[in-house]
Amino acid sequence: MAADDLPDVTVSEFMGVRSLHLDSIWVQGSMRVSKPLALELSYVQRMMAPLLWQEPSTWRTGACVQLGLGAAALTKFCHQVLGRPTTAVEIHPGVLAACRQYFALPPNGEGLEVVLEDAGRWARDPANQGRVALLHVDLYDHEAAAPVLDDADFYAACRALLAPGGAMAVNLFGRRASFADSCERMAQAFGADRVWRLAATKEGNTVVVATREIPLPDGAELKRRATNMDSALGLKAQPWLRGLRAV
């Protein structure tokens, strides 16, 4: 995308919650000003659902990557709350500048790197393959009508990014998006038995989880991990289990 094609970045604030926009009313991400490291939006909290598939002993280890910076909520959470090496890939320099100025995103260094690059190009770079333990994909333009990258080749590249035992969360949203088609493309890349969905939020976001190799734990183990996530990480994971199912 050429620099002239990038939408304007704007910031709004209402009742203590600051939000990022791309030249539209659609919210690209939010932060409660009094709690800059908390995950304010319910769908963003659900983007941490891949931890349910992974052993709690690994929750604070391994590289995290966000394709799409948004308001930097996941990037800050992975880097500062979990203490994990974290890379975010963002195409829009204005988004990065806004996150640094208004959303408490630290500068690069000490395990944090924000790369200004096209996410599809970064994902296909052989140098990045096989090293990501936790991958977040949240790629929307200013219209938020459908994911910007949503083809089978892109999801195959995402799988190649994952280390053994790695997992990916994808935010699916938009009036022109086809949930079934997106899930089918993920199933082509990851395998039909390695893709699951959570229930949609009231705003219409559906988080899909895909894993490299690891299966869904049994019900008792899922409940144990969700309880652990709630107490150790301040998330609200237990309600996610009610809507969790294979796609």
Where does 41-246 sit in CATH, by number? Answer: 3.40.50.150
Q: Which helix (H) or strand (E) holds 30?
A: strand 27-32
DSSP-derived letter for residue 35 is B
pLDDT tens per residue across span 24-75: 888 889 999 999 999 999 999 999 999 999 999 999 999 999 999 999 999 9
pTM check: above 0.75 = yes
Structure tokens at 68: 């799409």
C-alpha to C-alpha distance for 192 and 51, rounded to whole angstroms: 20
- Furthest CA-CA distance within the chain: 52
Q: What is the per-residue burial (b if ≥16 Cβ within 10 Å, else e) of 181-193? A: ebbebbbebbeee
Q: Which residues contact 244 (CB under 8 A, 6 or more apart)?
A: 49, 52, 196, 197, 198, 199, 216, 222
Cβ atoms of residues 43 and 73 within 8 Å:
no
Res 26: pLDDT: 82
Q: What's the mean per-residue pLDDT of the chain?
A: 92
Q: What mean pLDDT comes out for the span 111-130? A: 97
